[in-house]
Amino acid sequence: MTYCLNLDCQRDKRQNPPGTKYCLNCGSKLLLKDLYAATEPLRDGGFGRTFRAVNHGKFEELCVIKQLSPPQEFQRKPGHFKKYVRLFEQEARRLYELKHPQIPQLISYFEEDGRLYLVQEFIDGNNLKDELEKYGGYSEIKTRELLLDLLPLLKFVHDRNVIHRDIKPENVIRRARDRKLVLIDFGVSKQVVAEAPSKAGTKLGTPGYAALEQRHGRAVPASDLYSLGVTCIRLLTSVMPYLDIYGDIHDDLYDPLEGRWLWREALPKGIKISPDLGAVLDKLIQEYVKDRYKSAVEVLQALKPPAAVVVSPPQKSQQKTLINNSISTQPVTQNSLVSVPLESEKGIDYSQLEMLLAAKNWQGADRETSAKMLEVMQQMSRGYLTEEDIRKFPIKDLQTIDQLWVRHSHRRFGFSVQKGLWLKLGGKPGVYDVSIWEKFGDRVGWRVNNEWVYYSDLNFTSKALPGHLPGGTVFGWEGGVLCGVLGLGGVWFLLSRRDL
């Protein structure tokens, strides 16, 4: 269906059959710029409406249309109207400037029939509030994963002198294809003005998430960290602010008389939070900026697991052979861990992958590996790598990813581990042999009882078979099943790399 964007069109008659050029009810043109067709409304934010849409100029690709539509009382006040036009234009500029795989990319910004429109990338997934309602409150592990996913993104945003100012569960979407968290709605983001840092800003944000200084018009990067901390404690407790019958906001998670959050008292029975994570959350949600973390990097450092204790090895290195299900592996030398330089030919930040691997969060690290490899080759929208992508993959980036896996798994997981098994089974570089491929799948645990397993059934533990990981979506999983044999990017192409 094609949805009419004319505000004067009757709401219950705005749907039109596919392919219709003019609304059958009001006669308005349906295709913006003769390219973009709205298909259904997503959200009405009071000053703007958001629609799912189709980009007919790009292979019917899904996108999102935002239409500026302030209430009539604001349109009659030139000063107020200009303010919201400026904010709308600001969102378009922010999206244009902030090119990051976890921020929806701007497609177009224009005026048509006296109205302003913004077209951006469509993110397929559920926001965190919807997730909460569907699956219930967060655990400590999920909370840590959220922080480790969003903090590098906030560092990216803040490094470019932008403050989001409206971080909350509704504005964070978990993208379906790679499970990465995407930050949306930069409509009230603020550019930090270096020449006048004390200049008061606009009091925008969401009650129950906005920091004290932001409520007084002085948002700073630490204001976003405060909102992120509040988002975490709300996801842990499932307690959200609400409106009473008089329109006043109430918040059972905050005691205004004592000026403190009651999140520990509100934790569901059985949910335990470690002292170190609790201390991080407490510092994030401090009332005054001086008591909070000043940057995303500070929070990441506080979250980072303690470094491994390095013990000087004896003169003769002790060797230990790991055995799993009667399958022998190469001997693992138990020497002190050597740090891996996080080198990249494309300027990719691998610090989050390092932290996930150090914490033995194998599933999170697998997803991060997929996301980073797609980011390196700029194939985030497609979601998998082809043979050509793999052949052109930068040597430094490939070796950094592999060495991180090998180091933190004690040589149990990694591309080079997989290559060793591939060659041992008789595999040849760049040559597909179905019998070798099936033997390889059996050896690393990607096939069970002669059937390829679903991605959701992979074993994301330290007890997985050698070479079992990484095994993420970067190679192409169709319907959840690894389908390198279908030509969507095969592991044998990766294992033919001479630099592994």
Beta bridge partners of 210: none
State in Å, rounded, how far the first CA of the chain is from the last one: 50
Asked if 377 and 393 touch (Cβ cutoff 8 Å), the reply is: yes
| CA–CA separation, 50 and 395 (whole Å) | 42
Strands 254-255 and 15-16: unpaired
Strands 115-121 and 106-112: antiparallel
Strands 332-333 and 319-320: antiparallel
Sheet holding 125-127, edge to edge: 125-127, 172-175, 181-183
| CA–CA separation, 381 and 21 (whole Å) | 29
| CA–CA separation, 49 and 191 (whole Å) | 23
| CA–CA separation, 370 and 91 (whole Å) | 29
Where do we find the tokens 């990607």?
A: 446
166 noted as active-site residue: yes
Beta bridge partners of 111: 116
What one-character-per-residue DSSP string does 223-238 give? HHHHHHHHHHHHHHH-
What one-character-per-residue DSSP string does 485-497 give? GGTS--HHHHTT-
**Which position among 113, 124, 130, 166 bears the catalytic label?**
166
Asked if 465 and 443 touch (Cβ cutoff 8 Å), the reply is: yes
| CA–CA separation, 439 and 443 (whole Å) | 6
| CA–CA separation, 105 and 227 (whole Å) | 23
| CA–CA separation, 87 and 126 (whole Å) | 26
Which residues are known catalytic residues?
166
